[in-house]
A and B are shown apart, each in its own frame.
Chain A
Amino acid sequence: MTEIVTLPSYLTVKSIEQTLNACSEILDACDNVNINASGLKFVDPFGIAMLGSCLSQAKAYGFDSCISGLNKNVGSYLNRMDCFNDVELTDFSPSYNVRHDRSDSLVELKKLEDVKMVNQVSNELAKALVGSFNNVDLDLVINELSGYTLKELLINTLQYPISELLENSLTHARRNGYCHTAVWVAGQYFKSRGIVQISVIDNGCGFLSSLKGHSQLQTTSHLDAILTALKPRVSCNRDLGIMGDSVNQGVGLTTTVRIAEASGGRATILSGDAFHQTDGRSSYLSNDSWQGVAVSLVFSRSKLNKVQISELLPVLENEPEISLRFE
C-alpha cells in the first residue's frame, strides 16, 4: 500500500510547523510514499535539508518515495540542490544538459557520516557560500597582521559554525544507541536580502537524550533541553571518561549561535517536540516531533566581517589567572 503526503506551500524555517508536519508524515508512513508537491511554492535550505533527510531515511528503511506535481521553478531548484537522489520523479524531468553554475551562492544538499570529513567539508561549504558576495572587493587585505583578505576572513567566520554544528551532529548525536546518525547540510546566499542561510539536520538522539541527568536540566521537556544546551559550559561530557573518551567544553553551540546573532542574524533550533528561535520565539509543536536536532542559522552578509570570536566567548567569572607564553 502507498501512502500519500501533500507538501505545504512553503518548506522553510519560517514555516517550521508545516515543514515538520510534512516530514513527519513521510517518515511515519512506514511504507512507500507518493508526495504531492503541486502546492509547493518555495523551499529554503532548512526545507531542503529536512526533506532530503526524510527521503534518505525512508530509502534506508527500504521504502520508495516519488514526487509528483512539481512546478518547473521549484523542481529545477530542488534538482539543482541535489534533493532528488533518493526519490523518483513523476511528471517532472530535470534538465541535465546545462547545469547553471550557481556554486557561487548555493550549497547543494550534502550528507555526511564520517566525522573526519567535517574539517574539509566545512571549508568547502564556506568557500562556496562566500564565492560571489558581490559589491565587495574580496581580495582586499583586511588584516595587515595576518595578511587575511576579506574573502579569507568571511570564509573563516562561516566555516567556524558549520564545523561546530557538523561535528556535534556526528558525535553528540551518536550517543545513547544512535551510532548510525547522519547529518544533512544545505546553504544558500540570498543576494536580494543580503543573507546567508545554513541548515544542519541530524537524525540522532536529540538534546533531551544527550543531556539526560545533567544537573542544569530542570525538567524532561525538549524545550528545556534546547535552552539548557544553549547555556555556556553545559555539556553531557565535560569530564574525562575512564576510557579517555573525547570531552566537550559545552561552548561550541553557544558560540555558533552567538556568531549568527553578532552578524545580525538568528538561529532556530528544533529537537523533539519543541523549537527555539533566538529572536524570541519558542514553542512546543502540537502534533509532530523531530528525532534528532535541526539547526538553521541566518547571517547578515554585510556584518559578517565585523564578527570577532574573541568577543563572543563566555565570560570568565572566578577562574584563576593562568600564565601563558605567547610569542
Chain B
Amino acid sequence: MMFMKQIASTVKFPLSHFAAGHLAGTRAIAVPLRVAIEQAYCSKSGDIILDFKAVEVTQSFMDEVIGRLILSYGPDVLKKLIFKNCSNDVKAIIKFIAADRSDQYLKQNTH
C-alpha cells in the first residue's frame, strides 16, 4: 500500500494521496483507504494516524472511511484512530459521522 507509512507499530495515512486538488470527494476513492485501515485495525497494530494536512473532505468520503468502520466494528474502532491536522470543517464532518453512525450501530446492536 504505497500511501501508508509505518513507524514501529503506528500506521500513518496521508489523506493528500486521495485528494483531487485539496478535496477528497468520493466514496469510490475512499474504499482503498478504508480497506487499508481495516487491515491495520484487524492486525492489531498500534495507533492509526489519518493526516489531513492541506486536505478537505466531503461527508461522503469520510463516511465511507470511518462511518463504515463504525458500522462494521462498533464505535470502539475510533479509539485506535488519530485525526491529525484537521481543519474546522474536517473536524465537524468527522464528529458528525462518528456520532451518527455510532448511534446507528448501538441501536442495531443492543436489545
Contact = CB atoms under 8 A, between A and B. Distances in A.
B10 to A, nearest CB: 12
A326 B83 contact: yes
A323 interface: yes
B33 to A, nearest CB: 12
Contacts of B72: 240
Q: Using C-beta atoms within 8 Å of the partner chain, give the interface range for chain B.
A: 35 or more
Interface in B75-107: 75, 78-79, 81-89, 91-104, 106
A115 interface: yes
Interface string A218-243: 00000000000000010000111000
Contact of A310 (B26, B63, B92): B92
Contacts of B101: 249
Given A115-B28, A310-B89, A324-B95, A123 B20 contact: yes
B21 A323 contact: no
- A152, A238, A247, A308: which has the most chain B beta carbons within 10 Å? A247
B59 A249 contact: yes
Contacts of A127: 21
B81 to A, nearest CB: 7
Given A163-B58, A167-B27, A249 B63 contact: yes
B57 to A, nearest CB: 9
A239 B67 CA distance: 11
A319 B99 contact: yes
A119 B29 contact: yes
B25 interface: yes
Contacts of A143: 87
B32 to A, nearest CB: 11
B54 A310 contact: no
A122 B58 CA distance: 12
A119 B20 contact: yes
Interface stretch (A132-140, A154-162, A287-295): A154-162
B93 A313 contact: yes
A119 B99 contact: no
Interface string B13-30: 000001011111111110
A119 B25 contact: yes
B78 to A, nearest CB: 6
Contacts of B24: 119
A63 to B, nearest CB: 32
B100 A164 contact: no
B103 A320 contact: yes
B17 to A, nearest CB: 12
Interface in A156-193: 156, 159-160, 163-164, 167, 171
Interface of B: 18, 20-29, 31, 54, 56, 58-60, 63-64, 67-68, 71-72, 75, 78-79, 81-89, 91-104, 106, 108
